[in-house]
Chains A and B, each alone.
Chain A
Amino acid sequence: MAVRKNQATLSATEKRNFVNALLELKRTGVYDGFVRTHNEFIMSDTDNGERVGHRSPSFLPWHRRFLIQFEQELQKIDASVTLPYWDWTVDRSTTSSIWGADFLGGNGRSRDSQVTTGPFAYSTGKWNINVSVDNRPFLQRELGAGAQLPTRAQVDAVLAMTTYDMAPWNSASEGFRNNLEGWRGQGRIHNSVHVWIGGQMATGVSPNDPAFWLHHCFIDKLWADWQRMHPTSPYLPAAGTANVVDLNDTMRPWNNVTPADMLDHTKFYTYDR
Chain B
Amino acid sequence: MSSNVTRRLVLRGTAVAVAGAALAAPTAMAATRTATAAMTDHSGHGGHSGPAAFDEVYQGRRIVGKPATGEHAAHGGFTASIDGKELHLMQNADGTWISVVNHYETFATPLAVTRAAVDKLRGATLVPIAT
Contact = CB atoms under 8 A, between A and B. Distances in A.
Contacts of A205: 129
Given A39-B129, A47-B92, A171-B92, A133 B122 contact: no
Given A172-B94, A194-B104, A49 B74 contact: yes
A135 B61 CA distance: 15
Interface stretch (B9-17, B46-54, B95-103): B95-103
Contacts of B121: 134
Given A131-B130, A171-B92, A171-B94, A46 B74 contact: yes
Contacts of A40: 131
Interface in B112-131: 120-122, 124-127, 129-131
Given A36-B131, A40-B131, A133-B129, A182 B104 contact: yes
B105 A195 contact: yes
A47 B104 CA distance: 14
Nearest to A130: B130
27 contacts: A42-B103, A43-B88, A46-B75, A112-B122, A130-B130, A131-B130, A132-B127, A132-B129, A133-B100, A133-B101, A135-B124, A136-B124, A146-B105, A168-B93, A170-B93, A171-B92, A172-B92, A172-B93, A183-B92, A183-B106, A191-B104, A202-B104, A202-B120, A203-B102, A203-B103, A204-B88, A205-B129
Interface of A: 36, 39-40, 42-43, 46-49, 55, 112-113, 130-136, 146-147, 168, 170-172, 182-183, 190-192, 194-195, 202-206
The 7 closest A-B pairs by CB, nearest first: A172-B93, A194-B104, A191-B104, A47-B93, A134-B124, A204-B100, A135-B125
Given A36-B130, A112-B122, 13 more contacts: A39-B100, A46-B90, A47-B92, A133-B126, A133-B127, A147-B105, A171-B92, A172-B92, A182-B104, A191-B105, A195-B104, A202-B105, A204-B100
